[in-house]
A and B are shown apart, each in its own frame.
Chain A
């Protein structure tokens, strides 16, 4: 009887040890996730949160893909769920907010957003909060004494007051990377305004240029981008012969000589081949 009791206890201890070590092993495998969130507002365009998830695994920073994130609007002590998103293979996600009216600011007109990850078998739970105020950039093109300028005004939307002493950048959209126009940083004056002259001769397709006035990663207002379309560029004359490159162009652009000569050759050769095959029949029939 005593023996049975000892065996029973021995197995219980063994089982608990096993359960403990397995749960410990699971815990050891869990890595910490780091979330980076950026609020971006395109004036008269979309508003979104740029989210990046990384983790340090085996002393290497790894991008975390396919994790589900929940986005909340924090209001006082309340958390209002506004949506869900999943990171892509680069560990990135773009959560588009259809309208800023879908979230509510606190008493100081500051919006508070929480991005939360529940955690899974290999990754610990994580969250990241950001706070921002709603600002706006009003940008336009003006011409004075035949010099073109970009004039932009930064306004706090909640109070409708200009924001001074903040650095804005003006850049021109290009194929690979934007081209910085004027100084890299242009501080807004007491009216919240910057004026940046535009040099002449900037090339654009059909003379159209798209300028961007950017408030970049501001702690208070996030990133705000205003676009100004301006037909003031030097039209690009497309000297590319791409469409005329017969080797790569579609069927309907086959040059006439490439239709005539190869087809003549093909029909000529196959004509002879058919003649030779008929000769085989002739041989078969002319025994004598």
Chain B
């Protein structure tokens, strides 16, 4: 007999408290401000941004790359941990799936914001050429959105069935929604077989699709002959960076949700310890790729590469560069190598540092390269030599981040953040194992 009552009581979606309402309203306010700025950008054109002939990609593109990277979390945690039979993943996978859906939807929106004429978006489909990485991107993003949604939806079916019953008397309206979403789930053998088979297919499918997404994102840069981008290392570099950003975001979300919904019985120190080890592994791999990316060009000393790296290491971008390397990678590695560092609160702080570092890392990938064209910058206004986002760009970018958080917030409000059915199954397996041993 599975103890569904306790599980449903603990894990069924709950109404927002006062803090939840304030949080949601704050996000909506930020989004409205961003929409106003975006309407102004549509009316006046991209003249309201600080982008120019040289820095023709700015914070919008770096923000887009950040979203794409963060969406990799479901590939790296859900799929990889599932296929490697890591059972500790259960309480965190749904959070990862939700982050992934929110991030990839926002990636698609953010790239449109960067377009001077978004009304011409359809032209990308009509006139797209298969040899252009932009076309690959246009294809892979909707594909990843659909695969991420399916990855979120299939495991939810039994939970929707449970919630339908749970809310039947308490909230009949909500119950009806869950009934529709459960697709008449009764837990029959036939349904379970199809569901498990489908989840297995998606878990395998999302790995190549996720890798393609990150690689295409990298190839958008590396197919251009630009210093800092023209590198065979870039695909793998982006995949490892995406793992860091994704797991970092997951750590933060898991900590916040554990505290807000009081899930200490389900998300324990053990899970944080595992996540910490996972994060340190991804950070070490990414650090290795960073060494490849910066050390080899510095040693071979091609003039333009040296100039670029000097600007990063000792020049205009040095404070940001060292913050990203030390704050976003080295400190997390050092802290997370110790058991005490893998406790919930230190993990949350490190997760935050990693996410902030990951965001600025994308800014460093995009901007400094653009400010180093092959022909020297001459005879142009002084401000063209530098780039820092305008107020419009900041407002819109903050709004996109708020929108991602709002999607997560709304999904968390109506979906069980820990898989109920799966947890019940695991608890029963544990009981059977114990009784067999005794």
A interface vs B, CB < 8 Å? 246-247, 249-251, 253-255, 258-259, 262-263, 265-266, 269-270, 272-273, 275-277, 279-280, 282-288
Contacts and interface: CB of A to CB of B under 8 A. Distances in A.
A251 B209 contact: no
Contact of A286 (B188, B198, B205): B188
Given A279-B198, A284-B184, A254 B205 contact: no
B384 interface: no
A283 B191 CA distance: 5
Contact of A251 (B129, B150, B153, B190): B129
Given A251-B129, A262-B130, A283-B185, A276 B190 contact: no
Interface stretch (B19-27, B139-147, B281-289, B342-350): B139-147
Contacts of A246: 131
A275 B154 CA distance: 13
B190 A286 contact: yes
B220 to A, nearest CB: 12
B129 A254 contact: yes
Given A247-B223, A283-B157, A283-B191, 12 more contacts: A247-B131, A251-B127, A254-B129, A269-B143, A272-B201, A277-B150, A280-B153, A280-B154, A283-B185, A286-B194, A287-B186, A288-B188
28 contacts: A249-B131, A251-B130, A262-B130, A262-B139, A265-B212, A266-B139, A266-B143, A269-B143, A269-B147, A269-B208, A273-B146, A273-B147, A276-B150, A276-B154, A276-B201, A276-B202, A277-B150, A279-B194, A279-B195, A279-B197, A280-B153, A282-B194, A283-B183, A283-B184, A283-B195, A284-B184, A287-B191, A288-B190
Contacts of B129: 250-251, 254
Interface in B283-339: none
A273 B184 contact: no
Dominant secondary structure of chain B at its interface with chain A: helix
A273 B143 contact: yes
Contacts of A270: 143
Contacts of B194: 279, 282-283, 286
A227 B41 CA distance: 51
Nearest to A282: B194
Interface residues of B, number: 32
Contacts of A269: 143, 147, 205, 208-209
Contacts of B198: 276, 279
Interface in B364-386: none
A63 B208 CA distance: 59
B130 A258 contact: yes
A76 B375 CA distance: 55
A7 to B, nearest CB: 52
**9 closest Cβ contacts across the A-B interface?**
A284-B183, A286-B190, A279-B198, A246-B131, A251-B129, A254-B130, A287-B186, A258-B130, A283-B191
A29 B136 CA distance: 58
A262 B136 contact: yes
A284 B186 CA distance: 9
Contact of B131 (A258, A263, A277): A258
Nearest to A263: B130
Nearest to B132: A247
Interface string B91-135: 000000000000000000000000000000000000101111000
